Structure 1
Amino acid sequence: MRIAVIGGGPAGLYFSLLMKQRHPQDEIVVHERNAADATYGWGVVFSDIALAFLQEADDAFFRKFTAHHTRCDYMEIVHQGVPVRLSNNHFSRTSRIDMLRVLQQACVDAGVDVRYRSHITDPAQLPHADVIVAADGVNSEVRTHMAEHFMPSFDERRNKFAWYGTSQRFHPVSLIFRQTPHGVFMAHAYQYSPDRSTFLVEVDPETWQRCGLDTATEDESRVFCEQVFADDLQDHALLTNRSNWFQARVVSNARWSHGKVVLLGDALRSVHFSLGSGTRMAMQDAIALSEALSAHRQDIPAAFASFEQSRRSASDRFQDAARRSLDWYESVDQRMPLDPVSFAYDYMLRTGRVTHDDLRERDPAFIAQVEASAATSLRGHAA
């Protein structure tokens, strides 16, 4: 089988690796438009649940993949300057560039032909391929070129985001909420290496404009955000890497394949980073597609149908959770009067996928705080 993969991100590389391991005789070529060491953003975070499927699919690769990860077993929500610890939330973090290097090397070792600075926008450029996997990201050019077949839809969200790094080490995954005279600012922060953390800043568009960030340069925005989160950064600077403001875009497709072309990863469906599941979903897609193509070697349409059947419901569930999470962040100003414990509790329930009983089992100490806070509030109302 001749397989062409467009896009050298986690979805495309992991799919290529799995297929080459299962079928060494297949010709698999990955076309990546950028250089091998080009990456934007900072770190990537996985929950233990997210990593379990990787270990099940390929334990040897799993050990390489996680060898240099930074681990933590709790997260913190900082509200009104008070950190609230949420235990038994296990996370594994690494830099995006290190994650890609591990995947790149594994593909080379397996015999995958990875071609950098190879820009493919139209599947017609690959006439000899039996299968074309479009894994070219959330702004997929292949999907755009074939929009009449895939029928994509886009949910453009309100809030503004900027990705930064910092030398301040946020050991737990930290969600920080700061009330300013202009409005609420939020930061999603986590350490991903011995000396670096991701620091993603989020703000609603009205506050963004009131602060003058709509006309600020990249460096002016960086300085402003350093001032907003000065207590959290503790004199550490924010670091930029194309740290321009953007809005979240939730992508879905009515159809996942057409002819010999199939979408994969963020080209297929985006999952918002507030759930920390985008890379997980992309790599789970890669596993499912490799299994489907292995089971239906002589019938590509059947393989694509099997892939969609195995992943469609999970995709829909995660996108629904992502929208609920986005709704929570976009209305966070209404929740700022809550005390820190009640605020953290409200956050944990935001998607509807976690219940009070789930939290009691996972972190009984936190639920004891929640119930004590509720009892105090009831006594106050009674008085």
Structure 2
Amino acid sequence: MNVVVIGGGPAGLFFSLLLKQRHPEDHIVVHERYEAGATYGWGVVFSDIALSFLEDADPAFFRKFTAHHQRCDYMEVTHKGVRMPLHNNHFSRTSRIDLLRVLQQACADAGVEVHYGSRVCDPAELPDADIIVAADGVNSEVRTRLAEHFQPSFDVRRNKFAWYGTHQLFHPVSLIFRETGHGVFMAHAYQYSDTLSTFLVEVDPETWHRAGLDTATEEESRAYCERVFAEDLGGHSLLGNRSNWFQASVVRNEHWSHGKVVLLGDALRSVHFSLGSGTRMAMQDAIALCDAVCAHRDDVQVAFQAFENSRRGASARFQDAARRSLDWYESVDSKMHLDPVAFAYDYMLRTGRVTHEDLRQRDPGFIARVEAGGYHHPVDAPAAA
């Protein structure tokens, strides 16, 4: 089988690796527009549940993949200057460049051809391919070219984001909320190496405008965010890497395949980073697509339909949870009156996927504080004057 993958991110590389392992005779080529080692992210975070699927799919790769991960067994919500630990929330973190390096090396060892600096955006350029996997990201050019067939939809959310790094080490996955004279600023931070943490800043558009960030340079924005989170950064600076403000766009597709082309990863469906599940979903999709192709090698259309049947439900559930999570962040100004315990409790229940009893099992000490305070969900807003 002649397989061409457009996009050398986690979804495209992992699919290529799995298929080559199961069918070494297949000719698999990956076209990645950037050079090897070029990446503009900082770290990637997985929950322990999110990693279990990977160990089941490929134990040998799992060991290599997690060899240098940073691990923690709790998260922390900082509100009103108070750090609220939430125990038995296990996370594993690594740099995006290390994640790609491990995948790239595994693909090379397996015999997958990866062409770096190779931009392919038109499936018509690949007439000899039996399968074309479009894994070219949230702004997929393949999907755009075939939009009338895939029928994508885009939900551009209102909050503004900027990705930074820092040498301040946030051992737990940390969510930090700071009130300023212009409005509320939020940070999503976590250590992903011995020396670096990701530090993602989020702010609503009104606060962003009032703070003058709509006209600020990248350097001015970075310096402003350093001042907002000075207490949390402990004297460390924020590090930029194409750290421009952007808005999250949630992508869905009515149809997942067309002819011999199938979408994968963020080209297919984006999951907001507030859930920390985008890379997980992409790699789970890669497993499902590989399984479907291996089960129906004589009929690509049947394979693609089997892939969609196996993953569409999970995709919808995660995107619904992401929507609820986004709604929570976008309305956080209405929750800033809550005390730190009530605030953290409201945060943990924001998607509807975690219940009060789930939290009791996970962190009985925290729930004891919740119950002692008489909180329930949803936490009551203050009465109108």
Q: Which residue of 1 is the match for residue 279 of structure 2? A: 279
Residue by residue, what CA displacement relative to the aligned partner does 1:85-140 show, whole Å, maximum 9, x if unpaired? 00000000000000000000000000000000110111011111000000000000
Q: Distance in 2 between matches of 1:152 and 1:61?
A: 33
Q: Encode CA deviations 1:147-192: one digit per residue, 9 max, x unaligned.
A: 0000000000000000000000000000000000100000000000
- For residues 26-37 of structure 1, what are the structure 2 equivalents within 5 Å? 26-37=26-37
Q: Distance in 2 between matches of 1:161 and 1:281?
A: 22
The C-alpha deviation readout for 1:307-339, integer Å capped at 9, x for no partner, is 000000000000000000000000000000000
1:266 aligns with 2:266: yes
| 1:200-219 superposed matches below 5 A | 200-219=200-219
The aligned counterpart of 2:48 is 48
Matches of 1:372 and 1:82, distance apart in 2: 18
Amino acid aligned to 1:184: V
- The residue aligned with 2:322 is 322
Q: Hey, what does 1:252 align to over in structure 2?
A: 252
- Give identity over the alignment, percent: 77
Is residue 25 of structure 1 aligned with residue 25 of structure 2? Answer: yes
Secondary structure of 1:143's counterpart equals helix
Task: Please state how far the C-alpha of 1:76 moved relative to its aligned partner.
Answer: 0.1
Question: SS in structure 2 opposite 1:181?
Answer: coil
Deviation, 1:235, is: 0.7
Separation in 1, partners of 2:374, 2:238: 38
- Pairing 1:242–2:267 present: no
SS in 2 for 1:337: coil
**Matched AA of 1:272:** H
Q: Give secondary structure in 2 for the equivalent of 1:351.
A: coil
Does residue 1:142 correspond to 2:146, yes or no?
A: no
Tell me the residue number matched to 2:9. 9
CA-CA distance at 1:30 after TM superposition: 0.1
Q: Give, in whole Å, the separation in 2 of the partners of 1:13 and 1:247.
A: 27
Could you tell me which residue of structure 1 aligns to residue 301 of structure 2? 301
3-state DSSP of counterpart to 1:8: coil
1:352 Cα deviation from its structure 2 partner: 0.5
- Please name the residue that 1:220 is paired with: 220
Kindly state the Cα deviation for residue 372 of structure 1 after the two structures are TM-superposed: 1.1
Q: Normalising by structure 1, report the TM-score.
A: 0.98
1:374 is paired with a residue whose SS is: coil
- Partner Cα separation in structure 1 for residue 205 and residue 302 of structure 2: 45
In the other structure, the counterpart of 2:102 is: 102
Give distance in 1, aligned partners of 2:286 and 2:366. Answer: 37
AA in 2 matched with 1:134: A
Alignment length (residue pairs):
379
Unaligned segments of structure 2, at least 5 residues: none
The alignment's TM-score, normalised by the length of structure 2, stands at 0.97
The answer to whether 1:195 aligns with 2:166 is no
SS of the residue corresponding to residue 102 of structure 1 reads: helix
Note the C-alpha offset of 1:374. Answer: 1.7
Alignment of 1:104-123 (within 5 A): 104-123=104-123
Identify the residue that residue 78 of structure 1 maps to in structure 2: 78
Structure 1 CA distance for aligned equivalents of residues 154 and 325 of structure 2: 17
Q: Which runs of at least 4 in structure 1 moved beyond 4 Å after TM superposition?
A: none
What's the RMSD between the two structures over aligned residues? Answer: 1.3
Does 1:361 find its partner at 2:364?
A: no
Deviation by residue 1:28-48 (Cα, 9 ceiling, x = unmatched): 000000000110110000000
Letter in 1 for 2:316: D
2:190 is paired with a residue whose SS is strand
- Displacement of 1:70: 0.3
Aligned counterparts of 1:113 and 1:95: Cα–Cα separation in 2: 24
Are 1:349 and 2:349 an aligned pair?
A: yes
Structure 2 Cα separation of the partners of residues 326 and 80 of structure 1? 21
Matched residue SS, 1:61:
helix
CA distance in 2, matches of 1:38, 1:73: 31
Distance in 1 between residues matched to 2:141 and 2:157, nearest whole Å: 21
Could you tell me how far apart the structure 2 residues matched to 1:76 and 1:228 are?
Answer: 18
